[in-house]
Amino acid sequence: MLEIRNAVKVFEKGTPVEHTALNHLNLSLQDGEFVTVIGSNGAGKTTLFNAVCGTFLLNAGRIFLDGQDITYMPEHKRASMIGRVFQDPMKGTAPNMTIEENLSLAHSRSTARALSIAPGKKELGLFRDRLAEFNMGLENRMKTKVGLLSGGQRQAVTLLMCTIVPPKLLLLDEHTAALDPATAEKVMEITRSTVENYHLTTMMITHNITQALTTGTRTIMMDEGDILFDMSGTERERTSVDDLMRMYSVSRHKELDNDRMLLEK
């Protein structure tokens, strides 16, 4: 489904502050896999997502999605195939538009039709049914402007906007990090059911190591722009948070320096 070959991304190349953010990274995801991504600050996690989305072009390497080479495909064209939810609940929606208007725009964009904020009867029924799956009462607030919703409600709407037409790849960029614990768990519950119900190939960045080892089907740890560990199946099930910390220390000869990861383990 997703294949990244020998990806290299260098920022400020040729300057004193040159930084290699992706260092000959290779990664393959099968259809329906749910991969959690962890790593310290500067490990390359968000850079990896930006490369896949086309925010910038790679210095070297290739990216394939569902067999198609998207290495040089413009970001706006990739957006019809890739859904992304950001950490900031303010991103991904138009706050002065209603829930149904936001969903209508997302639906028309994903179906390659003319952009529209005026959904038809069929679309409204689809939006209402999908919102009802979240058990947040949003199906009864479709005329409410998104800017009036709570952070968790906005993230739920954004998640639906990204999946109203199932994308080939869903990227979750710490999408619960800005929420309080109870709301974060609710959004994660919605995320898990959405990914499972619609068989979405998914990558999720998280700083919560326990969550990373118990969510989805596979966990990768990044460091210095490459994949340090890649675990799934029995190996992942038998790996504890402390085990992972020790593995990192032995491999890199240093302690993990991300306070958020240490606090949330």
pLDDT per position as a tens digit, 163-183: 999 999 999 999 999 999 999
Query: How confident is the model at residue 53, as a pLDDT?
Result: 97
Closest CA relative to residue 191, chosen from 133, 115, 253: 133
Spatial contact of 244 and 226, defined as CB atoms under 8 Å apart: no
Domain regions of the chain by residue span: 1-81+170-265, 89-166
pLDDT for 171 equals 98
Beta carbons within 10 angstroms of residue 96's beta carbon: 10
| 67-74: average pLDDT | 96
What is the reported pLDDT for 259? Answer: 47
Phi first, then psi, for residue 256 (nearest 5°) are -65, 130
Above 70 in pLDDT, residue 257? no
* Structural element, H or E, at residue 245: helix 241-252
The mean of the pLDDT values for the chain is 91
pLDDT band at 117 (very low <50, low <70, confident <90, very high): low
User: Among 24-28, 71-75, 115-119, where is mean pLDDT lowest?
Assistant: 115-119
Please state the rounded mean pLDDT for residues 70-84.
Answer: 94
**pLDDT value of position 264:** 53
Would you state the CATH architecture of domain 1-81+170-265?
Answer: 3-Layer(aba) Sandwich (3.40)
Confidence of residue 118 (pLDDT cuts 50, 70, 90): low
List, edge to edge, every strand of the sheet that includes 34-39.
82-85, 169-173, 202-205, 34-39, 218-223, 226-232
pLDDT-derived band at 262, boundaries 50, 70, 90 = very low
